[in-house]
Chain A
Amino acid sequence: MQQKKRIPLKLKEFLIEKGLFFCSLLSVFTTFGIVLVLSFETFEFFKEVPILKFLTDTQWTPLFVNKHFGILPLLCGTFLTSLIAIGVAAPIGLVSAVYLSEYASLKTRNIVKPLMEILAAVPTVVYGYFALLFVTPLLKKIIPNLSGFNSLSSGIVMGIMIIPLVSSLSEDAMRAVPMGLREGAYAVGSNRLQVALRIVLPAASSGITAAFILAVSRAIGETMIVAIAAGQQPRFTLNPFVPIETITAYIVQVSLGDTPYGTLEYRTIFACGMALFILTFILNIFSFKLKKRFQEVYE
């Protein structure tokens, strides 16, 4: 039988494999790129601003005449909004996950799950609009001294945005719990609620914690909702009714202005970015390690 020449075919296979290999290396280059860019500018930043000041000063005013470079107010704003967000998403997401995993029929799940995916697909600007122009006025009726920009509305809306994440990851964790454990409990006469709360949740707890950590990481990195509705006043406070500023919103604020390249003010966004990157990186690793340990138990 006639056949193709073997040598060019081998060369073609080799080139294709190498080409595909370089595609996958790109991800490594991206990480290096991020680390390099952030490190370089942050390094330059710390030549002018002592790192201790950065970490302990309670004022952040790099764009004013009297400059302070303490990141604590921004960290505070970030944590406050994220806390409110997880405060909303955790109970609702968890209850929803228990329902979907232990109560709902297959038909229900097949309808609800794609709908929840759609919820997660809504662009964050839309959520920002909602927070500023619907939720804040609504809350003002209950809390009269709520200011126009505040962390409560943005936190609540952010929470709603991450409900699908909490719900689906928690549900995955619960479904990984073997049926045998449940059956043992049912066999002695427990009802669904008892099985869910006393057997499944504890068994899935590390998987669920991993889900929560991931949700917090997502909330911390969220930008547009807080840029629109939380304000641009860095404040070292835990008051949810006043304007604050998060790390991410600050980066957006500077990018919208005309801060010249190479100046200290320009470098502040990279220093902030570095802080944000390290924070989310640590959280993601925690979540990953927890999840791995959880999966090993139920292998």
Chain B
Amino acid sequence: MQGPILKVRELRAFYGKKEVLKGISLDILPNSVTAIIGPSGCGKSTFIRCLNRINDLILDFRMEGKVLYHDNDIYANAIDVVELRRRIGMVFQKPNPFPKSIYENIAYGLKIYGLNGKQQLDEIVENSLKKSALWEEVKDNLKQNALTLSGGQQQRLCIARALAVEPEVILLDEPCSAIDPISTAKIEELIYQLKQNYTIIIVTHNMQQAARVSDYTGFFLLGELIEFGKTEEIFKAPKDKRTEDYITGRFG
């Protein structure tokens, strides 16, 4: 088996003076689904946002420690952040399709890479929509504005959009928290299928969801990684009492 695709070592994160991540260390294995769980405000979102450096956009954000992608420190000066973000894709909590047509939403990621051939674009758009299980629902009208889709459809569109640029890793930041249960079920099914070709990290506050879809789970509490391991072990036999309390619903 290959080594970890992402290694996080002593990651600390600060918003201004406030420390929100206090020394996180873990490994992400390729073609696995890793769930990050924990109560609100524990730093889950901040954590995965460090992995594609989207936190750089926040004004008073600062980090220490190392995040290694294929053994390269992604925060090194020589790293091309733009390329990093193509290879580590992200789907956000609230669906954020561009106010353009469905086709344009997906084609955008390709066009900024210089891919312009209509046939090629058509192909990739169709494939991405098929991969995110949205194709059948929208194939007759790709020109319609993405904002007219339902919440669940919009989120699947965002997934298709992220898939179109062929990432290696996909970060999902509570992708189902803002959408209906049926769409949630569809997306969970999707995650299960995607894992064959991608490495997935999903932040969720829904423990049942984490138990259903993930291979590995990490439990965060107040900025610390309390426990990390195979999902089965975390849920059936947690080593830390705090983990057990959270999973059995005593808090959070």
Q: Residues of A at under 8 Å CB distance from B? A: 1-4, 6
Point out the residues of chain B lying under 8 angstroms from A3, CB to CB: 113-114
> Contact: A1 with B80, CB < 8 Å?
no
Top 10 A-B pairs, shortest CB-CB distance: A4-B114, A3-B113, A1-B166, A4-B113, A6-B80, A3-B114, A2-B115, A1-B113, A2-B114, A6-B83
In the complex, which residue of chain A has the Cβ closest to the Cβ of B164?
Answer: A1
Per the bound structure, the CA–CA distance linking A40 and B198 in Å amounts to 69
> Contact: A2 with B80, CB < 8 Å?
no
Q: Residues of B at under 8 Å CB distance from A? A: 80, 83, 113-115, 165-166
In the complex, which residue of chain A has the Cβ closest to the Cβ of B114?
Answer: A4
Closest chain-A Cβ to B162's Cβ sits at a distance in Å of: 14
In the complex, which residue of chain B has the Cβ closest to the Cβ of A4?
Answer: B114
Per the bound structure, the CA–CA distance linking A274 and B238 in Å amounts to 77
Point out the residues of chain A lying under 8 angstroms from B83, CB to CB: 6
Point out the residues of chain B lying under 8 angstroms from A2, CB to CB: 113-115
Per the bound structure, the CA–CA distance linking A275 and B210 in Å amounts to 71
Point out the residues of chain A lying under 8 angstroms from B165, CB to CB: 1
Q: A2-B113, A2-B114 are in contact. List 7 more A-B contacts (CB 8 A).
A: A1-B165, A1-B166, A3-B113, A3-B114, A4-B113, A6-B80, A6-B83
Interface centre among B80, B114, B166, by most A CB within 10 Å?
Answer: B114
In the complex, which residue of chain A has the Cβ closest to the Cβ of B166?
Answer: A1
Per the bound structure, the CA–CA distance linking A2 and B114 in Å amounts to 8
In the complex, which residue of chain B has the Cβ closest to the Cβ of A6?
Answer: B80
In the complex, which residue of chain B has the Cβ closest to the Cβ of A9?
Answer: B82
Per the bound structure, the CA–CA distance linking A59 and B180 in Å amounts to 80
Closest chain-A Cβ to B160's Cβ sits at a distance in Å of: 16
Point out the residues of chain A lying under 8 angstroms from B80, CB to CB: 6
In the complex, which residue of chain A has the Cβ closest to the Cβ of B83?
Answer: A6
Per the bound structure, the CA–CA distance linking A1 and B109 in Å amounts to 12
Q: Provide 13 A-B residue pairs closer than 8 Å at the C-beta atoms, listed in order of the A residue.
A: A1-B113, A1-B115, A1-B165, A1-B166, A2-B113, A2-B114, A2-B115, A3-B113, A3-B114, A4-B113, A4-B114, A6-B80, A6-B83
Per the bound structure, the CA–CA distance linking A13 and B165 in Å amounts to 21
In the complex, which residue of chain B has the Cβ closest to the Cβ of A1?
Answer: B166
Per the bound structure, the CA–CA distance linking A296 and B43 in Å amounts to 31
Per the bound structure, the CA–CA distance linking A6 and B114 in Å amounts to 11
Per the bound structure, the CA–CA distance linking A6 and B80 in Å amounts to 9
Closest chain-B Cβ to A116's Cβ sits at a distance in Å of: 31
Point out the residues of chain B lying under 8 angstroms from A4, CB to CB: 113-114
Interface centre among A1, A2, A4, A6, by most B CB within 10 Å?
Answer: A1
In the complex, which residue of chain A has the Cβ closest to the Cβ of B110?
Answer: A1
Per the bound structure, the CA–CA distance linking A4 and B109 in Å amounts to 13
Point out the residues of chain B lying under 8 angstroms from A1, CB to CB: 113, 115, 165-166
Per the bound structure, the CA–CA distance linking A3 and B83 in Å amounts to 10
Point out the residues of chain A lying under 8 angstroms from B166, CB to CB: 1
Point out the residues of chain A lying under 8 angstroms from B115, CB to CB: 1-2
Per the bound structure, the CA–CA distance linking A157 and B67 in Å amounts to 68
Per the bound structure, the CA–CA distance linking A74 and B90 in Å amounts to 66
In the complex, which residue of chain A has the Cβ closest to the Cβ of B113?
Answer: A3
Per the bound structure, the CA–CA distance linking A10 and B133 in Å amounts to 36
Closest chain-A Cβ to B80's Cβ sits at a distance in Å of: 6
In the complex, which residue of chain B has the Cβ closest to the Cβ of A5?
Answer: B114
Point out the residues of chain A lying under 8 angstroms from B113, CB to CB: 1-4
Per the bound structure, the CA–CA distance linking A81 and B244 in Å amounts to 79
Per the bound structure, the CA–CA distance linking A4 and B83 in Å amounts to 11
In the complex, which residue of chain B has the Cβ closest to the Cβ of A3?
Answer: B113
Per the bound structure, the CA–CA distance linking A85 and B80 in Å amounts to 60
Per the bound structure, the CA–CA distance linking A1 and B165 in Å amounts to 8
Per the bound structure, the CA–CA distance linking A6 and B83 in Å amounts to 9
Per the bound structure, the CA–CA distance linking A2 and B165 in Å amounts to 10
Per the bound structure, the CA–CA distance linking A1 and B166 in Å amounts to 8
Per the bound structure, the CA–CA distance linking A6 and B82 in Å amounts to 10
Closest chain-A Cβ to B115's Cβ sits at a distance in Å of: 7
Point out the residues of chain A lying under 8 angstroms from B114, CB to CB: 2-4
Closest chain-B Cβ to A239's Cβ sits at a distance in Å of: 58
Point out the residues of chain B lying under 8 angstroms from A6, CB to CB: 80, 83
Closest chain-A Cβ to B3's Cβ sits at a distance in Å of: 24
Closest chain-B Cβ to A3's Cβ sits at a distance in Å of: 5
Per the bound structure, the CA–CA distance linking A235 and B174 in Å amounts to 74
Per the bound structure, the CA–CA distance linking A178 and B80 in Å amounts to 47
Closest chain-B Cβ to A233's Cβ sits at a distance in Å of: 58
Per the bound structure, the CA–CA distance linking A196 and B165 in Å amounts to 58
Per the bound structure, the CA–CA distance linking A226 and B113 in Å amounts to 60
Per the bound structure, the CA–CA distance linking A2 and B116 in Å amounts to 11
Closest chain-B Cβ to A293's Cβ sits at a distance in Å of: 25
